[in-house]
Chain A
Amino acid sequence: MSIDSVPTIHEDLFGFKHNEPDKIDIHGERALAFWFYLMSDAMIFAILFANFGILVHGTAGGPDMSEILNMPRVALQTALLLLSSLTFGLVTISALSKNRNVAIIWLCVTFALGAGFLILEIGEFSEMVAEGATPQVSGFLSAFYVLVGTHGLHMVFGLGMLTVMLIQFLTKGLTLPVLSRLYRVGLFWHFLDLIWVAIFSYVYLPGALN
């Protein structure tokens, strides 16, 4: 983004407007490619939701959703994840305000909230296994573990990404490539919250209905 040269704005194949063919274009294209990745990831979840919808009544004498549902825990998980979306927003804002230390604090808060979510989920799974509700009991439980577990696995990768961002904030500072990476990690993190909305709406809440 040089100020001296008069930019000649042209639109590329992907609809991005450029004025100079430098690294900025690459990061714009990366953001778009990451968006495509998120949409294909949404397809994975769509298939897992379809799988869950088919198998939800296939309990084979095992527990059904109403028996494994713990509403306070689901509410707490939802609250943690939603709060972490807000705090990631604060990371983005403080990083783009060139306020590195504040960004690091909010990044740690986001990590703690995400880790809290995962601890609750691990607690849920281990409780279920202890009560004998393992994946091999019924088709319903297999579908449940795969769907919720895939989201949990994404959360683990998300926490890994947050750690990488923390290290790069500390070692590289708020450079253009780091900010570009932060943008994509942000997309990923907010996307996980979006998937969780679908999970609590279709997996957990219907279990409490008559």
Chain B
Amino acid sequence: MTSDPEHETTPMYLIKPDLKTYLDGFFYAVVLTVIPFALVWLSDMKKTPGVIVITAFAVIQIGIHMRYFLHYSTERAPVSATISIALAIIAGVVFVGGALWIMGDLNARMMP
């Protein structure tokens, strides 16, 4: 986070996080949770646009959790941690997207 040499040699588990980061993260997470819950609860949205909106909020909230709760930052975490996140995201997209694509396609080709 800062560039003083003391900080760079301190292992991650001894760096005291700021209370403000947790409170900020909590505030953002509450906002990003309440909005999709309220949308689903109070409005009568259709399935497809609803899932798209929920996905947008979920992705942003997962980013907020990574940044404010797991304290992930490219400056603080080693580069191999960043690589592992990228790999996890790619593999996750392939697993979920690929499985839904192939199984949906097979389902569409099934005899009625």
Contact = CB atoms under 8 A, between A and B. Distances in A.
Contacts of B77: 35
Contact of A1 (B9, B40, B41, B54): B9
B57 A27 contact: no
A180 B26 contact: no
A85 B47 contact: no
* Residue from the set B13, B19, B62, B81 with the largest chain A CB neighbour count within 10 Å: B13
A50 interface: yes
Interface size grouping (class) on chain A? 35 or more
A206 B87 contact: no
**Secondary structure class of chain A's binding surface, majority of residues:** helix
A183 B12 contact: yes
A50 B100 contact: yes
A89 B65 contact: no
Interface in A194-210: 194, 197-198, 200-202, 205-206, 208-210
Contacts of B4: none
Given A15-B80, A31-B13, A205-B54, A7 B95 contact: no
26 contacts: A17-B8, A28-B12, A31-B11, A40-B88, A46-B95, A50-B96, A50-B98, A54-B100, A54-B103, A78-B37, A85-B26, A85-B69, A89-B21, A89-B69, A90-B22, A93-B22, A176-B14, A183-B12, A183-B13, A190-B69, A197-B62, A201-B58, A202-B51, A205-B54, A209-B46, A210-B46
Contact of B13 (A9, A47, A89, A182): A182
B13 A39 contact: no
**Secondary structure class of chain B's binding surface, majority of residues:** helix
A54 B50 contact: no
Interface string B1-36: 000010011111111110101110110011001001
A201 B80 contact: no
* Residue from the set A17, A89, A180 with the largest chain B CB neighbour count within 10 Å: A89
Contact of A14 (B40, B45, B80, B98): B80
Interface residues of B, number: 57
A43 B50 contact: no
Contact of B33 (A19, A82, A184, A210): A82
A109 B14 CA distance: 23
Nearest to B85: A39
Contacts of A53: 96, 99-100
A28 B100 CA distance: 38
Interface string B79-100: 1110011011001100110111
Nearest to A36: B84
